[in-house]
Structure 1
Amino acid sequence: MKKVSVIYYSSTGHVEAMANHLAKGAELQGAIVKVLRVQDAKVNDVLDADIVAFGCPSMDGNTIESDEMQPFITEFKIIPVEKKKCFLFGSYGWDKGEFMDKWIKTMISYDFDVIDKFVIHEAPAKQDLDKCFEYGKKLLTY
């Protein structure tokens, strides 16, 4: 059975809802799934997983959240991940979601294999949550 870690930051609950639907989709396909707020995640939650999904909203300056998510991600600058497959997801508000392109570049530079992304504007609608569920099911096919 494949192991999937879904690690997210959510201040409003939008990204948390996306994370939970992603996890349900992966579980339906038989994955062993851990869903963790980034402040509860450990490096081994990434290293021990076959696939990791990271979720975060866009914050000031079109970046990922700087107090919890960014420091956690930065740990992997020096920890070998050897092309660990990762999926990135999140939401944005006033900006146009450019944070995701920056985040992808960062993850690739840290040697992650970014297999896909999903980003939405504002709060997830039912169809967005349905897409998260479908992405979760698809995670095991990469």
Structure 2
Amino acid sequence: MSDICVAYWSGTGNTEAMAQAIGAGITAAGKSADVVPMETISPADLKDQAVWVLGCPAMGAEELEDGTVEPFVSELEGFASGKKVALFGSYDWGDGEWMRTWAERMEQAGAQIVGGEGLICHGTPGADAIDECESLGREVAGL
């Protein structure tokens, strides 16, 4: 795997666009990025990495997608202590509760959240959101 893995799940393409922009920011900062759908890797692939970037849109009543992301994150919690984790995702309704909850879970597992409590974007990411994603990628690359 490359220097930094950006693992995401996307239902409509919005979170995928965010992942690609984060990867571009990592690359622009001089690191290499693997931007991969979560269903194509195992949580164990991240075990030896010091920095993770994880993305998931809000689902249902502001929760993580339960078929792929929830089991992936549950397994990561077992070895998240001491890791630096950046979280991101898109939403269509609500106020970002799913991201705050996700960040709290990772912190309770011992991870340090990078970039605040997670980067969220309402709907399709526009130019400003893409810029924020690229900035997060550059921040992650500097760790």
TM-score by length of structure 1 reads 0.91
**4+ residue segments displaced more than 4 Å:** none
The Cα offsets for residues 29-83 of structure 1, whole Å up to 9 and x where unpaired, read as 12121111010122233223231110110001111111100100001233x2331
Count of aligned pairs: 140
| Structure 1 match to 2:102 | 103
Q: Does 1:69 align with 2:69?
A: yes
| Structure 2 match to 1:126 | 127
Q: How does 1:45-56 map to 2 (within 5 A)?
A: 45-56=45-56
Identity of aligned residues (%): 29
Q: CA distance change for structure 1 residues 77 and 136 in 2, over 3 Å: closer, same or farther?
A: closer
2:75 maps to a residue whose letter is E
- In structure 2, what is the Cα distance between the partners aligned to 1:109 and 1:81? 9
Report which stretch shifted further, 29-38 or 65-74: 29-38
- In structure 1, what is the Cα distance between the partners aligned to 2:77 and 2:85? 15
- In structure 2, what is the Cα distance between the partners aligned to 1:36 and 1:77? 19
Report which stretch shifted further, 128-137 or 42-51: 42-51
Give the match's secondary structure for 2:119: strand
Q: CA distance change for structure 1 residues 30 and 53 in 2, over 3 Å: closer, same or farther?
A: same
Give the match's secondary structure for 2:114: strand
| Structure 1 match to 2:16 | 16
Give the match's secondary structure for 1:22: helix
- In structure 2, what is the Cα distance between the partners aligned to 1:85 and 1:138? 11
Give the match's secondary structure for 1:54: strand
Gaps of 5+ in 2: none
Q: CA distance change for structure 1 residues 115 and 81 in 2, over 3 Å: closer, same or farther?
A: same
1:15 maps to a residue whose letter is T
* Residues 3, 50 of structure 1: 8 Å contact kept: no
* Residues 29, 142 of structure 2: 8 Å contact kept: no
TM-score by length of structure 2 reads 0.90
